Amino acid sequence: MAENLNRAIGIVGRSVASKPQIPILGSILFRAVKDGLELTSTDLEMSFRVKEGAKVGEEGEVCLPAKVIGELAATIASGTVEIVVEKEVVSIRAGKVKAQISVVAGGEFPTVPVFKGKADLVFDSDGLVGSVSRVAQSAAKDDTRPVFTGILWVFEGKKVKLVATDGYRLGIEELEVERMGESELKKLVIPARSLMELVRVVDKEGREKVEVKIDEGKQQVLFRVGGVELVSRLLAGEFPPYGQILPSGHKTRVEFDREELLEGIKRAAIFARESANIVRLEMNDKGARVSANSSQVGSSETEVEAKVEGEDLIVAFNSRYLLDYLMGADADVIELKSEGSLKPGVFIEMGKKKSNFLQVIMPVRVQG
Protein backbone atom coordinates (compact mmCIF):
# COMPACT_ATOMS: atom_id res chain seq x y z
CA MET A 1 0.00 0.00 0.00
CA ALA A 2 1.12 3.56 -0.71
CA GLU A 3 0.87 4.53 2.96
CA ASN A 4 3.24 1.75 4.02
CA LEU A 5 5.71 2.56 1.26
CA ASN A 6 5.74 6.23 2.24
CA ARG A 7 6.28 5.33 5.89
CA ALA A 8 9.19 3.03 5.05
CA ILE A 9 10.87 5.55 2.75
CA GLY A 10 10.42 8.25 5.39
CA ILE A 11 12.30 6.15 7.93
CA VAL A 12 15.19 4.90 5.77
CA GLY A 13 15.58 8.33 4.24
CA ARG A 14 17.00 9.53 7.57
CA SER A 15 20.29 7.71 6.91
CA VAL A 16 20.73 8.55 3.23
CA ALA A 17 23.91 10.56 2.73
CA SER A 18 23.05 14.16 1.76
CA LYS A 19 26.38 14.57 -0.06
CA PRO A 20 27.37 10.97 -0.79
CA GLN A 21 31.05 10.12 -1.24
CA ILE A 22 29.97 7.58 -3.85
CA PRO A 23 26.69 7.65 -5.85
CA ILE A 24 25.32 4.43 -4.32
CA LEU A 25 25.09 6.07 -0.87
CA GLY A 26 22.48 8.49 -2.18
CA SER A 27 20.15 5.60 -2.92
CA ILE A 28 17.79 3.21 -1.15
CA LEU A 29 18.20 -0.52 -1.66
CA PHE A 30 14.88 -2.20 -2.48
CA ARG A 31 15.04 -5.97 -1.90
CA ALA A 32 12.10 -8.22 -2.72
CA VAL A 33 12.18 -11.34 -0.56
CA LYS A 34 9.82 -14.25 -0.12
CA ASP A 35 7.63 -12.61 2.51
CA GLY A 36 7.84 -8.92 1.68
CA LEU A 37 9.86 -5.88 0.68
CA GLU A 38 12.96 -4.64 2.52
CA LEU A 39 14.22 -1.06 2.20
CA THR A 40 17.77 -0.30 3.34
CA SER A 41 19.88 2.86 3.47
CA THR A 42 23.23 3.87 4.95
CA ASP A 43 25.64 6.77 5.20
CA LEU A 44 28.32 4.36 6.52
CA GLU A 45 27.87 5.76 10.04
CA MET A 46 24.22 4.82 10.56
CA SER A 47 21.90 2.50 8.63
CA PHE A 48 18.19 1.73 8.50
CA ARG A 49 16.33 -1.36 7.36
CA VAL A 50 12.54 -1.48 7.19
CA LYS A 51 10.51 -4.50 6.18
CA GLU A 52 6.97 -4.22 4.81
CA GLY A 53 4.51 -6.90 3.80
CA ALA A 54 4.15 -7.21 0.03
CA LYS A 55 3.07 -9.66 -2.65
CA VAL A 56 6.31 -10.71 -4.35
CA GLY A 57 6.28 -12.16 -7.86
CA GLU A 58 10.03 -12.56 -8.20
CA GLU A 59 12.81 -12.02 -5.66
CA GLY A 60 15.57 -9.54 -6.44
CA GLU A 61 17.08 -6.19 -5.49
CA VAL A 62 17.66 -2.79 -7.01
CA CYS A 63 18.96 0.62 -5.89
CA LEU A 64 16.84 3.71 -6.56
CA PRO A 65 17.77 7.37 -5.99
CA ALA A 66 16.37 8.24 -2.56
CA LYS A 67 15.33 11.79 -3.44
CA VAL A 68 13.42 10.77 -6.58
CA ILE A 69 11.59 7.76 -5.15
CA GLY A 70 10.84 9.67 -1.94
CA GLU A 71 9.29 12.64 -3.73
CA LEU A 72 7.37 10.39 -6.12
CA ALA A 73 5.98 8.18 -3.34
CA ALA A 74 4.84 11.27 -1.44
CA THR A 75 2.55 12.20 -4.36
CA ILE A 76 0.74 8.84 -4.16
CA ALA A 77 -1.71 9.21 -1.30
CA SER A 78 -3.24 5.74 -1.18
CA GLY A 79 -3.90 2.50 -3.01
CA THR A 80 -1.74 -0.36 -4.23
CA VAL A 81 1.72 0.39 -5.62
CA GLU A 82 3.28 -1.98 -8.17
CA ILE A 83 7.05 -1.99 -8.62
CA VAL A 84 8.49 -3.79 -11.66
CA VAL A 85 12.18 -4.00 -12.58
CA GLU A 86 12.88 -3.97 -16.31
CA LYS A 87 16.62 -4.08 -17.03
CA GLU A 88 18.04 -0.71 -15.87
CA VAL A 89 14.66 0.93 -15.30
CA VAL A 90 12.08 0.49 -12.55
CA SER A 91 8.42 1.04 -13.43
CA ILE A 92 6.12 2.37 -10.69
CA ARG A 93 2.38 1.95 -11.18
CA ALA A 94 -0.33 3.14 -8.78
CA GLY A 95 -3.87 3.70 -10.06
CA LYS A 96 -3.61 6.25 -12.86
CA VAL A 97 0.02 7.01 -12.05
CA LYS A 98 2.84 5.55 -14.15
CA ALA A 99 6.49 6.48 -13.69
CA GLN A 100 9.88 5.11 -14.61
CA ILE A 101 13.04 5.59 -12.54
CA SER A 102 16.56 4.80 -13.67
CA VAL A 103 18.43 2.34 -11.48
CA VAL A 104 21.43 3.74 -9.61
CA ALA A 105 24.69 2.41 -11.00
CA GLY A 106 28.12 2.65 -9.43
CA GLY A 107 28.95 -0.51 -7.54
CA GLU A 108 27.39 -2.74 -4.91
CA PHE A 109 25.35 -1.37 -2.05
CA PRO A 110 27.32 -1.60 1.24
CA THR A 111 26.56 -4.60 3.44
CA VAL A 112 24.36 -3.68 6.42
CA PRO A 113 24.23 -6.12 9.38
CA VAL A 114 20.97 -7.95 10.08
CA PHE A 115 19.54 -8.32 13.58
CA LYS A 116 19.67 -12.09 14.15
CA GLY A 117 19.11 -14.23 17.22
CA LYS A 118 18.25 -13.11 20.72
CA ALA A 119 18.71 -9.52 21.84
CA ASP A 120 21.52 -8.67 24.26
CA LEU A 121 19.32 -6.03 25.88
CA VAL A 122 15.59 -5.28 25.98
CA PHE A 123 14.22 -1.93 27.15
CA ASP A 124 10.80 -0.52 27.82
CA SER A 125 10.50 1.99 24.97
CA ASP A 126 9.04 4.83 27.06
CA GLY A 127 11.88 4.60 29.57
CA LEU A 128 14.60 4.48 26.94
CA VAL A 129 13.09 7.31 24.89
CA GLY A 130 12.75 9.57 27.93
CA SER A 131 16.29 8.92 29.17
CA VAL A 132 17.92 9.35 25.77
CA SER A 133 15.99 12.57 25.08
CA ARG A 134 17.08 14.13 28.37
CA VAL A 135 20.71 13.01 28.32
CA ALA A 136 21.36 13.71 24.61
CA GLN A 137 20.91 17.45 25.16
CA SER A 138 24.32 17.51 26.86
CA ALA A 139 26.18 15.85 23.98
CA ALA A 140 28.42 18.02 21.80
CA LYS A 141 26.98 19.16 18.47
CA ASP A 142 30.32 19.53 16.65
CA ASP A 143 32.79 16.72 16.11
CA THR A 144 35.97 18.47 17.23
CA ARG A 145 36.22 15.71 19.82
CA PRO A 146 34.10 12.87 18.36
CA VAL A 147 33.61 10.99 21.64
CA PHE A 148 31.83 14.08 23.05
CA THR A 149 29.13 13.68 20.37
CA GLY A 150 28.14 10.35 21.88
CA ILE A 151 26.30 8.98 24.89
CA LEU A 152 28.27 6.72 27.20
CA TRP A 153 26.47 3.54 28.31
CA VAL A 154 27.83 2.10 31.56
CA PHE A 155 26.46 -1.34 32.49
CA GLU A 156 25.95 -1.97 36.19
CA GLY A 157 24.05 -5.17 36.97
CA LYS A 158 20.53 -4.92 35.56
CA LYS A 159 20.86 -1.19 34.97
CA VAL A 160 22.60 1.01 32.44
CA LYS A 161 23.79 4.53 33.15
CA LEU A 162 23.57 6.99 30.25
CA VAL A 163 26.06 9.89 30.31
CA ALA A 164 26.72 12.78 27.92
CA THR A 165 28.81 15.94 28.09
CA ASP A 166 30.01 18.72 25.81
CA GLY A 167 32.51 20.04 28.35
CA TYR A 168 30.13 22.72 29.64
CA ARG A 169 27.29 20.54 30.91
CA LEU A 170 26.80 16.95 31.91
CA GLY A 171 23.66 14.79 31.82
CA ILE A 172 23.34 11.48 33.68
CA GLU A 173 20.42 9.08 34.07
CA GLU A 174 20.15 5.48 35.22
CA LEU A 175 17.81 3.18 33.33
CA GLU A 176 16.37 -0.25 34.09
CA VAL A 177 17.09 -3.05 31.60
CA GLU A 178 14.14 -5.42 31.21
CA ARG A 179 16.30 -8.24 29.92
CA MET A 180 20.07 -8.55 29.73
CA GLY A 181 22.04 -11.28 27.99
CA GLU A 182 25.33 -12.93 28.89
CA SER A 183 27.62 -10.15 27.60
CA GLU A 184 30.38 -9.00 29.96
CA LEU A 185 30.59 -5.61 28.25
CA LYS A 186 31.10 -2.82 30.78
CA LYS A 187 30.70 0.31 28.67
CA LEU A 188 30.36 1.68 25.14
CA VAL A 189 29.74 5.03 23.45
CA ILE A 190 26.91 5.41 20.92
CA PRO A 191 26.53 8.55 18.76
CA ALA A 192 23.79 10.80 20.17
CA ARG A 193 22.55 11.34 16.61
CA SER A 194 21.85 7.61 16.19
CA LEU A 195 20.04 7.42 19.52
CA MET A 196 17.85 10.42 18.68
CA GLU A 197 16.94 8.74 15.39
CA LEU A 198 15.95 5.71 17.46
CA VAL A 199 13.71 7.99 19.53
CA ARG A 200 11.97 9.17 16.33
CA VAL A 201 11.41 5.59 15.20
CA VAL A 202 9.90 4.56 18.53
CA ASP A 203 7.59 7.59 18.45
CA LYS A 204 6.40 6.64 14.95
CA GLU A 205 6.12 2.91 15.54
CA GLY A 206 4.45 3.12 18.95
CA ARG A 207 6.12 -0.11 20.09
CA GLU A 208 6.49 -1.07 23.76
CA LYS A 209 9.91 -2.71 23.50
CA VAL A 210 13.31 -1.84 22.02
CA GLU A 211 15.72 -4.71 21.39
CA VAL A 212 19.47 -4.14 21.28
CA LYS A 213 22.28 -6.29 19.92
CA ILE A 214 25.95 -5.35 20.31
CA ASP A 215 28.69 -6.47 17.90
CA GLU A 216 31.92 -5.63 19.71
CA GLY A 217 34.06 -7.13 16.96
CA LYS A 218 32.69 -4.83 14.27
CA GLN A 219 32.17 -1.96 16.74
CA GLN A 220 28.47 -1.71 15.89
CA VAL A 221 25.20 -1.69 17.78
CA LEU A 222 21.87 -2.84 16.31
CA PHE A 223 18.44 -1.74 17.48
CA ARG A 224 15.14 -3.37 16.52
CA VAL A 225 11.74 -1.75 16.96
CA GLY A 226 9.03 -3.91 15.38
CA GLY A 227 9.86 -4.17 11.67
CA VAL A 228 12.50 -1.42 11.80
CA GLU A 229 16.21 -2.01 12.37
CA LEU A 230 18.75 0.74 13.04
CA VAL A 231 22.48 0.02 12.92
CA SER A 232 25.04 2.46 14.28
CA ARG A 233 28.78 2.43 14.61
CA LEU A 234 30.24 2.79 18.09
CA LEU A 235 32.51 5.73 18.89
CA ALA A 236 36.15 5.08 19.69
CA GLY A 237 38.10 7.07 22.25
CA GLU A 238 38.17 7.49 25.99
CA PHE A 239 35.11 9.16 27.46
CA PRO A 240 36.08 11.87 30.00
CA PRO A 241 36.07 10.84 33.70
CA TYR A 242 32.69 12.41 34.44
CA GLY A 243 32.76 11.31 38.08
CA GLN A 244 35.45 13.90 38.78
CA ILE A 245 33.06 16.70 37.79
CA LEU A 246 30.34 15.70 40.25
CA PRO A 247 30.55 17.68 43.52
CA SER A 248 30.85 15.65 46.70
CA GLY A 249 28.70 18.06 48.70
CA HIS A 250 27.04 21.47 48.64
CA LYS A 251 26.96 24.76 50.54
CA THR A 252 23.65 25.95 49.07
CA ARG A 253 20.48 24.04 48.23
CA VAL A 254 17.56 25.71 46.44
CA GLU A 255 14.11 24.44 45.47
CA PHE A 256 12.30 26.14 42.55
CA ASP A 257 8.90 25.71 40.97
CA ARG A 258 9.96 24.53 37.50
CA GLU A 259 7.39 26.55 35.55
CA GLU A 260 8.13 29.76 37.43
CA LEU A 261 11.88 29.39 37.02
CA LEU A 262 11.44 28.51 33.33
CA GLU A 263 9.44 31.68 32.69
CA GLY A 264 12.04 33.77 34.48
CA ILE A 265 14.88 32.27 32.42
CA LYS A 266 12.94 32.72 29.16
CA ARG A 267 12.43 36.40 29.97
CA ALA A 268 16.06 36.94 30.93
CA ALA A 269 17.24 35.11 27.82
CA ILE A 270 15.71 37.84 25.63
CA PHE A 271 18.17 40.33 27.09
CA ALA A 272 21.07 37.88 27.31
CA ARG A 273 21.41 37.27 23.57
CA GLU A 274 23.82 40.18 23.11
CA SER A 275 25.91 39.21 26.16
CA ALA A 276 26.91 35.59 25.47
CA ASN A 277 23.53 34.27 26.73
CA ILE A 278 24.56 34.88 30.35
CA VAL A 279 21.81 35.02 32.99
CA ARG A 280 22.41 35.58 36.69
CA LEU A 281 20.68 33.83 39.59
CA GLU A 282 20.81 35.47 43.03
CA MET A 283 19.53 33.36 45.94
CA ASN A 284 19.13 34.13 49.63
CA ASP A 285 16.66 33.51 52.46
CA LYS A 286 14.14 35.87 50.81
CA GLY A 287 13.95 33.89 47.59
CA ALA A 288 15.63 34.17 44.18
CA ARG A 289 16.11 36.72 41.42
CA VAL A 290 16.77 35.94 37.75
CA SER A 291 18.37 38.75 35.74
CA ALA A 292 20.19 39.61 32.54
CA ASN A 293 21.42 42.84 31.02
CA SER A 294 22.85 44.09 27.77
CA SER A 295 24.36 47.51 27.11
CA GLN A 296 22.72 47.48 23.67
CA VAL A 297 19.26 46.04 24.45
CA GLY A 298 18.44 46.66 28.10
CA SER A 299 17.82 44.51 31.15
CA SER A 300 15.35 42.16 32.79
CA GLU A 301 14.83 41.12 36.41
CA THR A 302 12.31 38.59 37.76
CA GLU A 303 11.63 37.66 41.36
CA VAL A 304 11.15 33.89 41.70
CA GLU A 305 9.86 32.10 44.77
CA ALA A 306 12.47 29.70 46.10
CA LYS A 307 13.28 27.76 49.22
CA VAL A 308 16.94 28.41 50.01
CA GLU A 309 19.00 26.43 52.51
CA GLY A 310 22.61 27.25 53.42
CA GLU A 311 24.75 30.11 52.16
CA ASP A 312 23.57 32.93 49.89
CA LEU A 313 24.58 32.30 46.29
CA ILE A 314 25.09 34.42 43.17
CA VAL A 315 25.85 32.39 40.07
CA ALA A 316 25.70 32.92 36.31
CA PHE A 317 24.84 30.30 33.68
CA ASN A 318 24.39 30.09 29.92
CA SER A 319 20.64 30.57 29.45
CA ARG A 320 20.49 28.05 26.59
CA TYR A 321 21.69 25.27 28.87
CA LEU A 322 19.13 26.16 31.54
CA LEU A 323 16.31 26.33 28.99
CA ASP A 324 17.26 22.97 27.46
CA TYR A 325 17.14 21.37 30.89
CA LEU A 326 13.97 23.03 32.20
CA MET A 327 11.96 22.46 29.02
CA GLY A 328 12.91 18.78 28.99
CA ALA A 329 12.16 18.16 32.68
CA ASP A 330 8.81 16.70 33.80
CA ALA A 331 9.01 17.46 37.52
CA ASP A 332 7.02 20.16 39.29
CA VAL A 333 9.97 21.10 41.50
CA ILE A 334 13.64 21.56 40.55
CA GLU A 335 16.47 21.41 43.05
CA LEU A 336 19.80 23.22 42.61
CA LYS A 337 22.84 22.28 44.67
CA SER A 338 26.07 24.29 44.58
CA GLU A 339 29.37 24.60 46.42
CA GLY A 340 29.85 28.20 45.25
CA SER A 341 29.51 30.70 42.40
CA LEU A 342 32.36 29.16 40.36
CA LYS A 343 31.50 25.53 41.10
CA PRO A 344 29.28 23.27 38.96
CA GLY A 345 25.54 23.64 39.52
CA VAL A 346 23.77 20.31 40.06
CA PHE A 347 20.08 20.24 39.02
CA ILE A 348 17.75 17.44 40.14
CA GLU A 349 14.05 16.83 39.46
CA MET A 350 11.89 16.67 42.57
CA GLY A 351 8.17 16.31 43.40
CA LYS A 352 5.58 13.81 42.17
CA LYS A 353 7.24 13.29 38.79
CA LYS A 354 10.72 12.91 40.25
CA SER A 355 13.22 11.10 37.98
CA ASN A 356 16.82 10.10 38.59
CA PHE A 357 18.07 12.41 35.83
CA LEU A 358 20.89 14.66 36.99
CA GLN A 359 22.03 17.75 35.09
CA VAL A 360 25.31 19.47 35.84
CA ILE A 361 25.95 22.91 34.33
CA MET A 362 29.24 24.78 34.59
CA PRO A 363 28.89 28.39 35.74
CA VAL A 364 30.14 31.45 33.88
CA ARG A 365 32.57 33.86 35.49
CA VAL A 366 31.19 37.40 35.38
CA GLN A 367 32.41 40.77 36.68
CA GLY A 368 30.60 42.48 39.56
Radius of gyration of the chain (CA): 25
What's the CATH number of domain 246-361, 3.30.465.10, 3.10.150.10, 3.40.50.720, 3.40.190.10?
A: 3.10.150.10
For the chain, give percent helix, strand, coil, nearest 5. Answer: 25, 40, 35
Measure the CA angle with vertex 287, ends 286 and 293; round to 5°: 115
pTM, entire model: 0.92
Beta strand 46-52 with 36-42 is antiparallel
User: Residue 185: phi, psi to the nearest 5?
Assistant: -60, 135
- Residue 340 half-sphere exposure, CB side, CA atoms within 13 Å? 4
Q: How far apart are CA 31 and CA 63, in angstroms?
A: 9
Distance CA 146, CA 133 (A): 19
Concatenated DSSP letters for 263-318? HHHHHHHHHHGGGTTEEEEEEETTEEEEEEEETTTEEEEEEE-EEEEES-EEEEEE
Alpha helices in the chain (DSSP H): 2-12, 66-74, 125-136, 192-205, 258-272, 319-328
Integer Cα distance of 122 and 211 in angstroms: 5
Residue 34: DSSP 8-state: T
2-102 maps to which CATH number? 3.10.150.10
Q: Which fold has domain 121-243?
A: DNA Polymerase III; Chain A, domain 2 (3.10.150)
Distance of alpha carbon 329 from alpha carbon 196, whole angstroms:
17
Delimiting residues of CATH 3.10.150.10 domain(s) in the chain: 2-102, 121-243, 246-361
Tens-digit pLDDT string for the chain (368 aa): 788 999 999 999 999 988 888 889 999 999 999 889 999 999 999 999 999 998 888 889 999 999 999 999 999 978 899 999 988 899 999 988 999 999 987 678 999 999 998 999 999 999 999 999 999 999 999 988 999 999 999 998 889 999 999 999 999 999 999 888 766 778 999 999 999 999 999 988 888 999 999 998 889 999 999 999 999 999 999 999 998 888 889 999 999 999 999 999 999 999 999 889 999 999 999 999 999 998 788 899 999 999 999 999 999 999 999 999 999 888 899 999 999 999 999 999 986 555 789 999 999 987 65
